[in-house]
Amino acid sequence: MTSTDNDNILYEYPLQERMRTYLRLEHGFEQLKASQTCFDKQAEPFFNALFAVTELLERCDIRTELTKDLELDKQRLQKWEEHPDVDRDALRRTINEIAHCLNTLQDIPKYLRQLKDDALLTSIRQRFSQPGMSGLFELPQLHLWLSQSAEEKQQQCERWSQTLAFVELAITLKLTLLREQSVFAPIQLQNGFLQESSEQLLAMLRIKVPRSAKIYPVISGHRQRFTVRFMPLPGESKEASLHDIEFELARCSP
């Protein structure tokens, strides 16, 4: 996820492969929601997002990995229940949300099968997977489907989207727990380059960069070692932008 506020741009980078998958799914679900708002004007973004999410879920063993991660989160939270200063109601709600997600994640194959067996989706999916632009002359069945009323199309899109809503809920919960347990620390660099090792396993980096700096981070690494190099936009002078860089870094542990 890359987001902005009035003063900063927030960049995130996964340091574990399953976190990369989680972030890709999060982005896919965001695209799916955004595309529904402009479906009447352009239908392709919705189907591209739907097929991208389903393909990623079919290719990766998300059920096993996400179940394992949420189970660990649940165990960690349960240890806090007896702490005198904890908000027990909020803690219990989160534990219950995790338990609900753990139950529903086992149904991923069943709901993927529902989408795979959908006659219209099956008939157009291969065309959407091919590179290059497509036209409705190549998909007359989709052309006919799009001629329905806006209400009918919206209802069907909602049914398709809701088929995988429980996966989105689990991904959102996992990433929220991961993000909330990290704290941003200010860092200042003289040459635009940071290299760091960690004894603790890391899952993801979060970097806040001032909008006014007009630079972006190029990040590489793995669970215990990473580098961050800041770069200006292509065409901008490096010398003018890479001195005395100030930013904030949060190291997220699994």
Strand partners, 4: 9
Residues 103 and 142 in one domain: yes
Q: pTM for this one?
A: 0.91
33: CATH: 1.10.3900.10
Classify residue 237 by its DSSP letter: -
For residue 250, give both structure tokens: 């949060």
pLDDT of residue 241: 61
Mean pLDDT by 10 residues, the chain (254 residues): 76 96 97 89 91 94 95 92 82 95 95 96 89 78 92 93 96 96 92 89 96 92 93 75 85 91
pLDDT of residue 168: 97
202: CATH: 2.60.440.10
Query: Which string of b and e fits 21-47 if b means at least 16 CB within 10 Å?
Result: bbbbbbebbebbeebbeebeeebebbb
Q: Is residue 6 one of the residues assigned to a domain?
A: no
pLDDT of residue 208: 96
pLDDT of residue 238: 64
Query: Which string of b and e fits 132-143 if b means at least 16 CB within 10 Å?
Result: eeeeeeebeebe
pLDDT of residue 230: 92
pLDDT of residue 76: 92
